[in-house]
Chain A
Amino acid sequence: MNGRDGTPFAITLGVGSSLANKTGSWRTERPVYRNALPPCNDACPAGENIQGWLYEAEGGDYEAAWRLLVADNPFPAIMGRVCYHPCQAACNRAHLDEAVGINAVERFLGDAALQAGWELPAPLPDTGRSVLIVGAGPSGLSAAHHLRRAGHRVVIREAGPLPGGMMRFGIPAYRLPRDVLDAEVGRLLGSGIELHLDDRVDDLMAASRGFDATFLAVGAHIGRRAYIPAGESAHILDAVGVLRDTADDQPPLLGRRVVVYGGGNTAMDAARTAKRLGAEEAIVVYRRTRDRMPAHDSEVAEALEEGVIMRWLSTIRHVDEGSMVVERMELDADGFPRPTGETEELAADSLVLALGQDVDLSLLDGVPDLEVVDGVVTVDDRMMTGHAGVFAGGDMVPSERTVTVAVGHGKQAARTIDAWLRGEEYRHAARPALADVTSLNTWYYTDAPASVRPTLDLVRRISTFDEVTLGLDEDTAVFEARRCLSCGNCFHCDNCFGVCPDNAVRKFAEGSGAGDNGRDYAFDLDYCKGCGLCVAECPSGAIDLVPEQI
C-alpha cells in the first residue's frame, strides 16, 4: 500500500539514513591514536622495546619476540640472568600488584633461542668501511653486533684469552653459567666479526691506522687499593683478581675466615665466591649502612641467604696474619660515616678488597684532544670522545657499571659510528611522552599475581658454582608476559571500537596497519562527536584527546 511515488504508506518523504547528518561538526576535541613510551622501555639502559617483545611473547610467538629483542640487545639469555632490571622498578603493574617479571621472560626467550638455534639477522651488504673495537666485553661485543649488522667490517682486539670481559671474569658462574655466555657470544661472533684474543692494544693511534672509526671498551679491571697498615704476612687480595682467578679455574687460597672490604656488587660476588671456595665464614665489612650500599638489593639478599655476614658501619684499621682491627663508625648529621675510636679485633685469614675498579688508560697515551676526568674518559651523549672518530663506552666512561649499561653504550656508539661513517651526524629520535600509570585505565586488567622464579637449594648454592636462579617454564613465562599492561601502546582490545556511542571507529584486520597512524583502527571524523569515551576506556592510554582548531 505505497504512495504514488513509491514511498511507504502515510509518508510523504522517502526514508533517509541518519548517515546524512555529519555529527562530526559538533566536535571540539578529537581523539588521536598515539604511542606513548612505556616506563620499562624508558628505564632500559640497553634501549630495548620491552613492551613490544612482551606483546609478541603474550601471543606465543617467541621467535618474533626474540627477534624484536635482539634488534636492541644481542644477549637475552645473559640479560635474563645478570641484568638488574631497572625496567621492573619502573613497571606500572607495581601499582596494581607487582611488577611484571620482565627479566624472567627475557631469560625464557634467550634460552628458547639457544635451544632452537635461532640465528641473528644476517648483516647488510658490505659497506667497505671498517671499525676497530678495543675490548670484547659487553660494550665492545654489543657495538660489534650492531656495526656488523649495518654491513661494516668489524675487528675486535681483546687483551684477554677469551671474549666476554667482565661477563666472564667479573660475574661468577653461579649467576651466569659459562655455557650460556659462550653460546650467546659465539652466536654473535659468527656473523663475520674478526676477533683477536691475547692481543692487547698499547698504542691506540698506531692500532687505529687503517680503520675508519674506533670504539674503545676496555672496561675497568684494576682493583682499587686503599692504604691499610698491614703486617708483613697479612694476606690481602683484590676482589677482581679473586673473581678472575676463580673464573680461570685457578681459585686463590682464601682460608677459613674471609673478610671482604666494600659494599658494591663486586663485594657481594667476592663474598659469595669465598663461601663457594670453602670459606666457613665470609664477612663483608662496609663503612656505611645497608641502605647506602651500592650493591643491588637482590645481590645483598642472596648473599645474606647464603650466610654471608655483614658488618655495617665498620672500617678496617690494621691487618695482620690471622686477624685484623676493625673500627666502628657512626653516621653524622649529614649521613656521612665518621670514626668513633672504638675498635675490636676480628679473626680472619685473608682480606679481599672490593673498593671499586680503575681503568687502565695507558693505551690512550698520545691521543690528542681526549679528556680524562677521575680516571674515566669523557664522551658526549652519543659516545664520542674529544678525538673525532674515537668513541668509547662501558666501564671506561662515566656511568653506572653494569652489563646492561655497557650493552646500551655499545648500541648507542654503533648508531653514532654508523652515521659518522656515512658523513652524517647522529640525532636522537624524539622521545614520546611517558605512559605513566595515570594515563591507563587499569580496570580492564585481570588480577594476576607475579610468578616466582625457582632457586637452587641453599646447600648446593654455597657448595657449588651451579646457577642460583632458575628459569621459568613456558606456561609460567607466558603467564608472566601476559601480565604486561602494554602501557601507552595499542594491544588490539577493541575497546575504542566497542565503546563509541556514535559508531565512529573503523576496525581493520589485525596487523594490517590500514587505520590511523599505521594502526588497525581509524576514527571516522565525519561522525565522531569528540566525547572522549574511547580515550577514557582505552586500557593502555594509547589514545590522546587533542583540541580541534576551530
Chain B
Amino acid sequence: MTERLRFYQTGSFAVRNRLLPVVDASVQSDPGRANAITSGHRACQGCGEALGARYALDAAMRASGGRMVAVNATGCLEVFSTPYPETSWQIPWMHSLFGNAAAVASGVAAALRVTGRDDVRVVAQAGDGGTVDIGLGPLSGMFERNDDVLFICYDNEAYMNTGVQRSGATPPAARTMTTPAVGPHPGAPFGQGKDLPRIAMAHEIPYVATATVADLRDLEDKVTTAMSIRGARYLHVLVPCPLGWGSASRDTVRVARLATESGLFPVFEAHDGEVTSVTPIRRRVPVEDYLRIQKRYAHLFGEPPATGVIAHIQATADRNIRRYRIEEAPV
C-alpha cells in the first residue's frame, strides 16, 4: 500500500509531486513510460478500462524490465485495441478466446519455463465478464496450480462491449440491458453476483489486491508488489464505464473515487489469503453521492425516491467498512 506523504502540497495524491525526489515519482509521470496501450484505440471518451490497463501494464513493464507478455481475454479491451490489422499494444500481446485467458497465460508461463526463459513474466487481463463468469473455471485452475501469472481483472461491472448486459459483477439495482429499470424490483437483483477478490483469497494464492483508477500510486504499488512475487496473483481494478454506467466522460476518476470513499468498493491487499493492508477512506460520503451521478441508478431517484433500495446499498457499504476494518486503517 502507498505510504501517504504529508505536507508536500499534493503529497502522493497527484500523478507527480515536483517537490519530491524523482525516485518517488509514479510510472505514469515518466515521459519514457511504456505506453503499453497507445493512442488511436477505439475506446469511448473517458474510458476507465483503457486508463486502468495503461496504468497497470506500464507499472508491470517497469517492474519486469520490459520483459513481459500479456494475454488478453475477449472483451472491450481486446475489441477496442485491436481492430484488424491495427493494434494499440506496444508490448508482446496475444488474444485467444473469451473464457480461456487464464489457461492460455498458464500455458505461456509453462512454455517460457520449459524453454528456460522464466525471466519473462506473464500477465493475463480480462474484463469482469471474462473473469467472474466465462473465464472463472480456467482462472480457478490457474489459482489452484499456483501458476506464475498475474491476472488482472478490469471490472466495469457489466458486458459493455456487447451492449451493457448484466455480468456476475454487476452491482444490485444497477440498470443494464438485461436488468432494465422496470417492474417492482428494477435493475439487477440483490443477493446475486460474485465477489471475485474474496473467491481468489479463498484459493490462498500468494497475492490478491484491489485498486481503482482513482488512486494511481496505490495501483502502481500493487502491481509492483505483485510482480515481485512468483506464483498466481490476482489484481482487481475498478474501471468506471461512462457508456454503461451513464456517467459523464470527465467523471471517470471521480466515480471511482466515490466508490471507494463511500465504502462500496473496498481497496485492500491480501497475502496468502489474509488481508494485510486496507486503504483508508479519506472523506467518507454516503452512497447516494456515488449513485446519483450515474444514470444506471437514475430510477432510484425518481418521485418518490427508492429510499429502501438506497438504504440497502448503504448497508452493503457499511458492511464492507466493517468487514475490512476500513475505519481503523491508519490514515
What's the Cα separation between A277 and B29 when bound, in Å?
A: 61
* The one of B5, B35, B41, B253 that contacts A536, using a Cβ cutoff of 8 Å: B253
Q: Beyond A18-B87, A532-B250, A533-B252, is A493–B16 a contact (Cβ under 8 Å)?
A: yes
Q: Is A482 part of the contact surface with B, judged by Cβ < 8 Å?
A: yes
Q: Is B62 part of the contact surface with A, judged by Cβ < 8 Å?
A: no
Residues of B within 8 A of A469 (CB): none
* The one of A14, A19, A483, A532 that contacts B9, using a Cβ cutoff of 8 Å: A483
Q: Is B43 part of the contact surface with A, judged by Cβ < 8 Å?
A: yes
Residues of A within 8 A of B250 (CB): 531-533, 535-536, 545
Check if A507 sits within 8 Å of B31, measured CB to CB: yes
B 38-72 contacts with A by CB, 8 A: 38-43, 45-48, 50-51, 54
Residues of A within 8 A of B88 (CB): 17-18
B 66-84 contacts with A by CB, 8 A: 81, 83-84
What's the Cα separation between A493 and B26 when bound, in Å?
A: 11
1/0 contact string of B1-34 vs chain A (CB within 8 Å): 0001111111101111111000000101101000
What's the Cα separation between A273 and B41 when bound, in Å?
A: 73
What's the Cα separation between A485 and B152 when bound, in Å?
A: 35
What's the Cα separation between A524 and B8 when bound, in Å?
A: 30
A 34-66 contacts with B by CB, 8 A: 58-59
Residues of B within 8 A of A13 (CB): 84-85
Stretch among A82-90, A247-255, A284-292, A498-506 lining the B interface: A498-506
Check if B6 sits within 8 Å of A527, measured CB to CB: no
Residue of B nearest to A12 (CB): B85
Q: Is A448 part of the contact surface with B, judged by Cβ < 8 Å?
A: yes
Q: Is A491 part of the contact surface with B, judged by Cβ < 8 Å?
A: yes
What's the Cα separation between A527 and B249 when bound, in Å?
A: 16
1/0 contact string of A3-19 vs chain B (CB within 8 Å): 00000000101111111
Q: Is B124 part of the contact surface with A, judged by Cβ < 8 Å?
A: no
1/0 contact string of B81-119 vs chain A (CB within 8 Å): 101111110000000000000000000000000000000
Check if A502 sits within 8 Å of B39, measured CB to CB: yes
What's the Cα separation between A526 and B40 when bound, in Å?
A: 9
What's the Cα separation between A494 and B15 when bound, in Å?
A: 5
Q: Is B248 part of the contact surface with A, judged by Cβ < 8 Å?
A: yes
Check if A23 sits within 8 Å of B40, measured CB to CB: yes
Q: Beyond A446-B11, A494-B14, is A527–B29 a contact (Cβ under 8 Å)?
A: no
> Which of the four size classes fits the interface of chain B?
35 or more
Check if B9 sits within 8 Å of A484, measured CB to CB: yes
Check if A445 sits within 8 Å of B13, measured CB to CB: yes
What's the Cα separation between A112 and B294 when bound, in Å?
A: 52
Q: Is A444 part of the contact surface with B, judged by Cβ < 8 Å?
A: yes
What's the Cα separation between A79 and B254 when bound, in Å?
A: 41
Q: Is B257 part of the contact surface with A, judged by Cβ < 8 Å?
A: yes
Interface SS majority for chain B: loop
Check if B7 sits within 8 Å of A482, measured CB to CB: yes
Check if B251 sits within 8 Å of A448, measured CB to CB: no
Minimum Cβ distance to chain B for residue A494 (Å) = 4
* The one of A20, A58, A533 that contacts B40, using a Cβ cutoff of 8 Å: A20
Q: Beyond A494-B14, A495-B14, is A446–B7 a contact (Cβ under 8 Å)?
A: yes
Q: Beyond A14-B85, A58-B19, A536-B253, is A504–B39 a contact (Cβ under 8 Å)?
A: yes
Residues of B within 8 A of A529 (CB): 45-46
Q: Is B216 part of the contact surface with A, judged by Cβ < 8 Å?
A: yes
A 280-336 contacts with B by CB, 8 A: none
Q: Is A443 part of the contact surface with B, judged by Cβ < 8 Å?
A: yes
Check if A446 sits within 8 Å of B86, measured CB to CB: no
Q: Is A539 part of the contact surface with B, judged by Cβ < 8 Å?
A: yes
Check if A501 sits within 8 Å of B31, measured CB to CB: no
What's the Cα separation between A220 and B8 when bound, in Å?
A: 45
What's the Cα separation between A483 and B50 when bound, in Å?
A: 33
What's the Cα separation between A230 and B107 when bound, in Å?
A: 106
Residue of B nearest to A499 (CB): B253
A-B contact pairs, 15 of them (CB 8 A): A16-B85, A16-B86, A17-B86, A17-B88, A20-B86, A21-B42, A21-B86, A446-B11, A448-B7, A494-B15, A501-B46, A501-B47, A529-B45, A531-B46, A532-B249
